[in-house]
Amino acid sequence: MKLLCVFGRHNYGDPARGEGYEYSNFLPALRALGHEVHHFESWDRDAHADFAALNTALIDRVEALRPDLLFCVLMGYEVWTETLASVRDAGVPVLNWGTDDSWKYAQFSRFVAPEVDLWVTTAHEAMEAAGRDGLDNFCLSQWAASGGRSCEPLSAEQCAYDLSFVGSAYGNRGRWIRRLREHGLNVECFGQGWPNGPVDAERIPELYRRSRISLNFGDSGLQWRGLKPYRSRQIKARVFEVPAAGGVLLTERADRLGDYYDCGREIETFADEQDLIKRARALLGDPRRRDAMAWAGYRRTLAEHLYERRFAPLLDSCVRVERLERHPIDRAALARAVRAHRSNLGLQALRAALVWPMLRMWGERRGTRAARRLLFELSWRLCGAATYRASGLPGRLFYRDS
């Protein structure tokens, strides 16, 4: 099949943060399955003048390429629901790989999913919620690893690092790393916000392989359920990447993790700060057990948890819903959406009223982002699906900060 993949080349669309996970893992896996794969940049705000330009460029690309499938990783309101509808009306099925549905389902996925043919989620709770909401196009899958990045494990004595962590510094991660070091454990961290900074995606598997233990934290920062704050715990892609690269994973516990690995034999888990320190020390002090775990996790991942295995049935499912006839893109519908998106003096005044008090409290960068977040939180609660249309206020007022 000819696939057009719609997501970013870099993490969060920022080249300074290194090549993005989806770009460096999904594209090779899809090509390994024998498909013709093309990419469209949808996360980098420097790639387009505004969301109207982004959506127009995407429609142009679909019209010129005529793909058999649009494979999306939608982050928010960057691709309008009108655009998704136009692509499907033209006979091109749309698959979206849903990220962070453990907390994004309520505010995002349930509103956008009706506009795609297949919404793939890695969150069991989102799958259950979709069933309650009558969304029958949800499919449960899971993160995995790219077969092209797998490598046999090194022994503990061949490794260069005792413990390593690859990922951004946010939430309680800094505190946990600090506590490990206070207890005499050597930890090297790589990613946004750490002294070592981000690393190239090509280098990450080798970091896992050359670490006696690779850490993973399952939190996604502070989230909100209504007015009540909570911390989301979820299975992340790193859970599969580390064993595939020949590393040993020590990960924070998450629901249903035991469905994928034999915890204690193929990977190791921890419950809290003290448990993390205890289990890291135990593994470092028992190189034979550590090496056995590396091989057990590696073999399990290659047998069951590669993207080539995950993607094949999903693509087959989309082929079955493919339209029998192709139709021209409805340019008139696109023009109406673009007109609905255009700013005006009233919107500019609204933006100024939102941003000004936030700038006074938090300064230029954080203040503008806080204003955008406030508007978004109000919009999805009050306006629902309209947030993700061309006329949605967050996208109209805050392109650069979205």
Residue 132 is predicted with a pLDDT of 97
Nearest to 67 by CA among 93, 29, 95: 93
**Proportion of the chain above pLDDT 90, given as a percent:** 83
Residue 286 is predicted with a pLDDT of 98
Nearest to 204 by CA among 283, 145, 157, 281: 145
Question: For residue 4, what are the β-bridge partners?
Answer: 38, 70
pLDDT at position 190 over 80: yes
CA–CA–CA angle 51, 56, 61 (5° rounding) = 125
pLDDT at position 198 over 80: yes
pLDDT at position 327 over 90: no
Residue 320 is predicted with a pLDDT of 66
Tens-digit pLDDT profile for residues 140-149: 999 999 998 8
- Give the C-alpha separation, 332 to 81, whole Å: 15
Residue spans of beta strands (DSSP E) within 207-259: 211-216, 219-225, 228-233, 249-252
Q: Give yes or no on whether 2-144+308-338 and 150-305 have one common fold.
A: yes
Q: How far is CA 215 from the centre of its chain?
A: 19
Going from N- to C-terminal start, the domains of the chain cover 2-144+308-338, 150-305, 343-397
Query: What residues contact 68, with CB distance under 8 A and at least 6 apart?
Result: 1, 2, 3, 92, 93, 319, 322
What mean pLDDT comes out for the span 334-342?
A: 96
Tens-digit pLDDT profile for residues 275-322: 999 999 999 999 999 999 999 999 999 999 999 999 999 998 887 655
Residue 201 is predicted with a pLDDT of 86
What mean pLDDT comes out for the span 132-138?
A: 97
Residue 218 is predicted with a pLDDT of 77
Q: pLDDT category, 226, cuts 50, 70, 90? A: low
Q: pLDDT category, 250, cuts 50, 70, 90? A: very high
pLDDT at position 224 over 80: no
Q: Report, in angstroms and rounded to the nearest whole number, the Rg of the chain calculated over CA atoms.
A: 22
Report the range of poorest mean pLDDT among 35-39, 241-245, 316-320, 391-395: 316-320
Residue 221 is predicted with a pLDDT of 53
- Give the C-alpha separation, 64 to 210, whole Å: 45
Q: What dotted CATH number matches 150-305?
A: 3.40.50.2000
Nearest to 215 by CA among 158, 151, 275: 275
What mean pLDDT comes out for the span 203-230?
A: 77
For every residue of 44-66, DSSP letters joined together read -TTSSSSHHHHHHHHHHHHHHH-
What mean pLDDT comes out for the span 350-371?
A: 92
Half-sphere exposure (Cβ direction) of 144: Cα atoms closer than 13 Å: 24
For every residue of 129-174, DSSP letters joined together read HHHHTT-TTEEE----B-GGG--PPPPGGG-SEEEEEES---TTHH
Would you give the DSSP letter of residue 214?
E
**CATH 3.40.50.2300 given to domain 2-144+308-338:** yes
pLDDT at position 272 over 60: yes
Residue 322 is predicted with a pLDDT of 52
Residue 365 is predicted with a pLDDT of 79
The mean pLDDT value of the chain amounts to 93
pLDDT at position 200 over 60: yes
Residue 247 is predicted with a pLDDT of 98
3-state secondary structure of 41: strand
pLDDT at position 385 over 70: yes
Q: pLDDT category, 16, cuts 50, 70, 90? A: confident
